[in-house]
Structure 1
Amino acid sequence: MRFLPHLFAAALALAVQAETLPPAKVVEAFHAALSDGEQAKAEALLLPEVRIYESGHVEATRAEYAAHHLPEDIVYARKSKTSLKRLDTVESPDMAVVTSESETLDLSGKQPKRYAGTETMVLKRVGGEWRIAHIHWSSHLLKK
């Protein structure tokens, strides 16, 4: 119970940070949380009703993603290096779409692998804060 004030302070600090960040920076903060192994920070940037699509699979809520694929995404992010090739943002007052193209070097196996990736994130402004409402990831193995 002694850690609750610290947890609350961390959540409040993240909420203030997200409020001042534009949509592309919220996406960047989400990826940083994955790479840093900070699951709570990653979750805080997602709406409870977030839908995540990847390789034909769907995770329909933040809780479902947190219980299943999020820990795997953190492990993967920590064992790979991604370079952003292109980033575009379309923004309206309460909704934004951030799309990106990247190349990832996967160092998790015996042999490094390179992947080309695309990402679409839809963000909604809720209470003045940008939060991720939808993620769609797609990638393919690059030939040597």
Structure 2
Amino acid sequence: MSPKPLVLALSLAVSTVTPAVAQDHSHGHAQTAGSISAEATDAAATVDAFHAALKAGDTSAALSLLAPDVMIFEEGGAERSREEYASHHLASDAAFAAASDATVSRRSGWADGDVAWITSEGRTTGQFNGRAVDRLTTETMVLKRHADGWRIHHIHWSSRAPR
């Protein structure tokens, strides 16, 4: 499996995340440890929407939540724009998201003015391209508030096999 689907494991994990605070972003999923500040709840909802769009195969919706100059770091590689991501890994990330199951064990988020960061830890399992998937995942997303809502400006995905 290429590194991109392994990192998407984290993406899937975030799509099932719920912060363990008064605001409920669970969308029917189990609670997770961590906390999302009140100022960051809308940013966390944007992260959730991004992962839900990937899982549903709605790549247009996923792209709409990324800033044009988004930087995506994964497994030592980088994609330096929304267009680069769309032309390289978006389709495989969506396919991986649809084929695997993810949970988030911990999520935290903070905002300061128009900038927010959301961090998540989780596990992704399932089958992809005829191979078993079992990865522990981490994700950091940095978002900026725009006139029409929060947009993702940076993603850093990482995953590893469980010990």
TM-score, normalised to structure 2, is: 0.72
- What's the CA shift for 1:106? 3.2
Look up the match of 1:27.
47
Runs of 4+ in 1 over 6 A off after TM superposition: none
Larger mean CA deviation between 57-66 and 123-132 belongs to 123-132
May I ask how many residue pairs the two structures share in their alignment? Answer: 123
Q: Which residue of structure 2 lines up, in the alignment, with residue 85 of structure 1?
A: 105
Q: What is the match of residue 78 of structure 2?
A: 58
Q: Does 1:114 align with 2:134?
A: yes
| Structure 1 segments unaligned to the other structure (5+ residues) | 1-20
Q: CA RMSD in A?
A: 1.3
Which one is further off, 125-134 or 79-88? Answer: 125-134
**SS of the counterpart of 1:112?**
strand
* 1:128 positional shift: 4.8
Q: What is the alpha-carbon distance in structure 2 between the residues aligned to residue 128 and residue 107 of structure 1?
A: 37
- SS of the aligned residue for 2:128 comes to coil
Counterpart CA distance in 2 for 1:26 and 1:95 is 13
Deviations 1:47-105 (A, max 9, x none): 00000000001000000000101111001101110001011001112000000001000
Change (3 A) 1:37 1:128: closer
Q: 2:45 corresponds to which letter in structure 1? A: K
Asked which structure has the greater RCO (Cα within 8 Å, sep 6+), the reply is 2
Identical amino acids, percent of aligned pairs: 42
Larger Rg: 1
Question: 2:147 aligned to 123, 127, 130, which one?
Answer: 127
CA distance in 1 between partners of 2:130 and 2:71 (Å): 32
Select which of 44, 56, 66 maps to 1:46: 66
Consecutive unaligned residues in structure 2, runs of 5 or more: 1-40
Counterparts of 2:94 and 2:58 in 1: how far apart (Å)? 8
Q: Deviations over 1:107-129 (max 9, x none)?
A: 11444231000000000011151
**Does the C-alpha gap of structure 1 residues 79 and 95 become closer, same or farther in structure 2, counting only changes over 3 Å?**
same
For 2:126, give the aligned amino acid: D
**Distance verdict in 2 for CA 1:39–1:111, change over 3 Å:** closer
Task: With the length of structure 1 as denominator, give the TM-score of the two structures.
Answer: 0.82
Q: Is 1:75 equivalent to 2:95 in the alignment?
A: yes
